[in-house]
Amino acid sequence: MSNEIEAIKDPGLPAHVHRKADHDPVAARRAERQVAAMFMISALGTVLMIASFFIPDDVFVFVPVMGDQNAHQLGLGLGMAISLFFIGMGAIHWAKTLMPDQEVIAHRHEFRSPDSDRKEFVDTVKEGAAATGLGRRSLIKRTLGAAVGLSAISPLLLFRDLGPLPGDDLKKTSWKKGTYLVTDPGDRRIRASDLEVGAVAQVLPESDDPEHRKLNDIAKDAVLLIRLRPDEFNLDAERLSWTHEGIIAFSKICSHMGCAVALYEQTTKHLLCPCHQSTFDVTRAAKVIFGPAARPLPQLNITVDAEGYLVARDPFYEPIGPSFWGRISS
């Protein structure tokens, strides 16, 4: 087999094909009129936009497929779209039909500089470097390094007050022994008898100022209350003692990445987090049965007070929410 591949000779640019408008003045005038028409349509679009600006915003028009549309919004948007689009169409059509379309050849130049320039460049740099004397004056070199290095690092210190140190903030919630469970929203205390089997309630700890709850607190305190039949649990004695007559409480903040885990499937007794589909089994203390969550949802130890209102017995036994380095391993 021959190793020679005969190079295909460059046939050069193909013969130029003229457009209608190039040789036929009628076609050229038609193209001109088409371009002008497009610019006129654009102007009409602008008029539509200006007119629509003054349409009151409670007027609706019916558009097939889309349904009732707000006339003000639709007119404004369509007017703007038409006015812009047809400027573009006009300009492009103009370029395509009337402007010269003879292809032009430009030559590439090699980027590599001539050797003499390169040598001169190297020499310039070398001479300049030698002129600094750094090669000989190592004291200057070392102290220069220290000065620049230190002054570069020190501004980082100015960012220290971006935020407080976490301390043990991530490990604490507002739940303490004796904190009442209240509905979210509504802030009503909940009796055990308020919940039927299969019921679910969104819960927050009772607050002194329920009108002004801080989102920072809600992000850690949100709890989900679920009522099962007591025989449906599959828990050890200790965790069972944290429930009350089939009512069990979990932190609502997903142990994976912190979304609110509130989808409760009554038939399967599973909790589903809609973000990444971690699934927790309520009957086994929110054990993870599917998905990327690595830990169960922390269970809240609850009981009732003398009047039958649900109340927390203890704070959460471990940090709620997503993991972090210093979290005590569970």
Residues 36-75 that bind other proteins (CB under 8 A): 53, 57, 60, 65-70, 72-74
In Å, how far from its chain's centre is CA 188?
A: 35
**Residues near other proteins (CB under 8 A), total:** 123
In Å, how far from its chain's centre is CA 117?
A: 51
Please identify, using beta-carbon distances, which residue of 141 and 172 lies nearer to other proteins. Answer: 172
Contacting residue, 30, 43, 174, 194, with other proteins by CB under 8 A: 194
Please identify, using beta-carbon distances, which residue of 72 and 141 lies nearer to other proteins. Answer: 72
The phi and psi torsions of 320 (rounded to 5 degrees) equal: -90, 170
Minimum distance of other proteins from residue 301's CB (angstroms): 20
Contacting residue, 143, 148, 277, 317, with other proteins by CB under 8 A: 277
In Å, how far from its chain's centre is CA 28?
A: 52
Residue closest to 206 by CA, chosen among 176, 181, 174:
181
308 binds other proteins (CB under 8 A): no
Burial class (CB in 10 A: 0-12, 13-18, 19+), 255: buried
The phi and psi torsions of 156 (rounded to 5 degrees) equal: -60, -30
Q: Which residues pair with 183 in a beta bridge?
A: 203
Residue closest to 76 by CA, chosen among 36, 48, 106:
48
Minimum distance of other proteins from residue 143's CB (angstroms): 32
Site residues for other proteins, 229-258, by CB under 8 A, read 252-253, 256-258
Please identify, using beta-carbon distances, which residue of 181 and 299 lies nearer to other proteins. Answer: 181
Contacting residue, 179, 207, 243, 279, with other proteins by CB under 8 A: 279
Please identify, using beta-carbon distances, which residue of 145 and 292 lies nearer to other proteins. Answer: 292
